């Protein structure tokens, strides 16, 4: 066998950020759970916030002695086109929910249920794509639906269709209280978090940053403004370009928009292509899958924009804030829980407001530094993976009596 020094980040590594006491507390919460088998199910292994969180969370949980797994459902293009429409409708868009669509959705999930044998002590199903999985299993422990979407105003027709499925779960997790729905199933609220040790968030020196930007031909002669997001209309990419064009009338700068395709988001390619016509010397639009580039761009930018119109949480906001970069974020969803307007960033509701804040920040180095410092502090206090893991341990422990009875077939 090849000798290779593998190493994994553990909760112990977070001590430098959260202190020894918090680390001890997390280990103590994990101790009674040692050896339980848990599994996450979602619909992509890269290209969005859910995959990003699962990457770190699953490894940390295993380091804590929990046998946590991660399964990804397979689907046809038709299936992902329908589930993206559902995603949009849960965020408030219209949907034409025909029988044909329901059948494709439920048939693909049935096939996934046949392929995946889930007899775990705890099952966590992420977002609407694999939601109906629960219909096809005998439960051996609690099943939780973890919804990452901005549910401020879900489309009622779709919600009514999904509700009986959601209520089969033993618990539902939303990112923030504002997304609570009328449900018979108990709800808890856990905000996502970032991994400070990942390639995307770890420290980079100026040379490493420059190397990545040069590699993609991103000019650094003028102040950089950036948005990093899947190419999705909810992220309002055209609004970002319009705001940038307005701001540029007053301050010289370059805009870079970095996005990646996600296997469960078939609309991305179309949105990306629709933006290409806006490319010019000072507007770069890149579709790549490169975490080190995301890291470099979020560090090099004078200002990061996340001008979302809906946003379940917005990991990209916390990622940039962690790097000490001030963020101008849409005044929606989870972004409002990260940015305190005028303190560690700005919240905006229009293109003109975005442009005004861009000009203000680009012209004022002291303000950028002050907000950036507070932004990093906010993430350190609230949005690191250690807090996220701890809250999920609390969730596991809250069901303790159920799985301690071990295993009770037909529990459902
Ligand atoms: N992301 C990336 N490359 C890109 C665009 C996005 O790695 O080109 C990552 C981004 O850094 C973040 C995640 O995808 O970790 C997006 O999560 P967020 O919560 O902001 O939005 P979502 O895509 O889940 O709606």
Is the CB of 237 within 6 Å of ligand 1? no
Q: Residues 368-387: pLDDT tens digits?
A: 999 999 999 999 999 999 99
If you take atom 23 of ligand 1, which residue's CA is the nearest one?
Answer: 48
Confidence bin at 203 (pLDDT 50/70/90): very high
Position of tokens 């919600």?
A: 159
**What phi, psi does 383 have (nearest 5°)?**
-125, 35
pLDDT (0 to 100) of residue 412: 40
Does 360 score more than 50 pLDDT?
Answer: yes
Q: What CA–CA distances, in Å, run from 167 to 35, 131, 187, 230?
A: 28, 11, 11, 30
Distance 382 CA to ligand 1 centre (A): 19
Distance 291 CA to ligand 1 centre (A): 10
Is the CB of 258 within 6 Å of ligand 1? yes
Is the CB of 105 within 6 Å of ligand 1? no
If you take atom 17 of ligand 1, which residue's CA is the nearest one?
Answer: 49
DSSP string, 67-127: EEEEEE----HHHHHHHHHHHHHHTT------HHHHHHHHHHHHHHHHH-----SEEEEES
Q: Which residue has the higher pLDDT, 406 or 241?
A: 241
> Could you state, in order of their start, the residue ranges of all structural domains in the chain?
11-193+385-405, 206-382
- Distance, in Å, from the CA atom of 327 to the CA atom of 306, rounded to the nearest integer, reads 7
Is the CB of 104 within 6 Å of ligand 1? no
Q: Residues 287-341: pLDDT tens digits?
A: 999 999 999 999 999 999 999 999 999 999 999 999 999 999 999 999 999 999 9
Helix spans in 219-284 (H):
237-248, 268-276
Does 230 score more than 60 pLDDT?
Answer: yes
Distance 20 CA to ligand 1 centre (A): 31
Confidence bin at 9 (pLDDT 50/70/90): very high
pLDDT (0 to 100) of residue 405: 46
Q: CATH topology of 11-193+385-405 equal to that of 206-382?
A: yes
Is the CB of 260 within 6 Å of ligand 1? yes
Is the CB of 314 within 6 Å of ligand 1? yes
Q: Is the distance from CB of 309 to CB of 234 less than 8 angstroms?
A: yes
Q: Which CATH number describes the domain made up of 206-382?
A: 3.40.50.2000
Q: Is the distance from CB of 296 to CB of 209 less than 8 angstroms?
A: yes
User: Structure tokens of 34?
Assistant: 């040692």
Distance 319 CA to ligand 1 centre (A): 9
Q: Which CATH number describes the domain made up of 11-193+385-405?
A: 3.40.50.2000
Is the CB of 294 within 6 Å of ligand 1? yes
Mean pLDDT confidence for 241-267 = 94
pLDDT (0 to 100) of residue 96: 97
């Amino acid at each position: 066998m090849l000798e290779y020094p593998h190493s994994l980040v553990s909760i112990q590594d977070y001590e430098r950020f959260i202190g020894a006491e918090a680390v001890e507390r997390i280990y103590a919460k994990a101790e009674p759970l040692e050896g339980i088998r848990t599994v996450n199910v979602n619909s992509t292994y890269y290209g969005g916030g859910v995959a990003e969180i699962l990457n770190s969370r699953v490894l940390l949980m295993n380091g804590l002695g929990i046998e946590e797994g991660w399964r990804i459902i397979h689907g046809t293009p038709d299936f992902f086109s329908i589930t993206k429409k559902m995603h949009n409708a849960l965020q408030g868009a219209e949907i034409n929910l025909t029988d044909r669509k329901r059948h494709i959705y439920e048939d693909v999930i049935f096939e996934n249920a046949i392929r995946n044998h889930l007899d775990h002590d705890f099952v966590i199903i992420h977002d609407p794509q694999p939601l109906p999985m629960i219909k096809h299993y005998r439960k051996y422990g609690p099943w939780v639906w973890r919804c990452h979407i901005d549910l401020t105003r879900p489309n009622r027709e779709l919600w009514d269709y999904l509700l009986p499925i959601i209520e089969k779960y033993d618990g539902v997790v939303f990112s923030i209280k504002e997304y609570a729905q009328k449900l018979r199933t108990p709800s808890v609220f856990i905000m996502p978090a970032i991994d400070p040790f990942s390639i995307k968030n770890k420290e980079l020196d100026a040379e490493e940053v420059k190397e990545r930007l040069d590699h993609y031909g991103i000019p650094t002669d003028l102040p950089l403004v950036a948005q990093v997001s899947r190419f999705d209309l909810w992220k309002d990419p055209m609004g970002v370009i319009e705001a940038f064009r307005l701001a540029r009338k007053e301050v010289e700068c370059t805009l870079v928009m970095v996005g990646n395709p996600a296997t469960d988001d078939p609309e991305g390619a179309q949105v990306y292509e629709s933006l290409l016509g806006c490319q010019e010397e000072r507007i770069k639009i890149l579709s790549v899958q490169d975490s080190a580039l995301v890291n470099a761009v979020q560090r090099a930018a004078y200002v990061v924009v996340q001008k979302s119109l809906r946003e379940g949480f917005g990991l990209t906001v916390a990622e940039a804030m962690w790097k000490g970069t001030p963020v101008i974020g849409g005044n929606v969803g989870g972004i409002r829980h990260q940015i305190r307007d005028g303190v560690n960033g700005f919240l905006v509701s229009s293109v003109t407001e975005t442009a005004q804040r861009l000009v203000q920040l680009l012209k004022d180095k002291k303000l950028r530094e002050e907000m950036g410092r507070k932004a990093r502090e906010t993430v350190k206090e609230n949005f690191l993976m250690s807090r996220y893991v701890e809250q999920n341990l609390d969730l596991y422990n809250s069901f303790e009596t159920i799985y301690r009875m071990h295993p009770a077939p037909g529990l459902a």
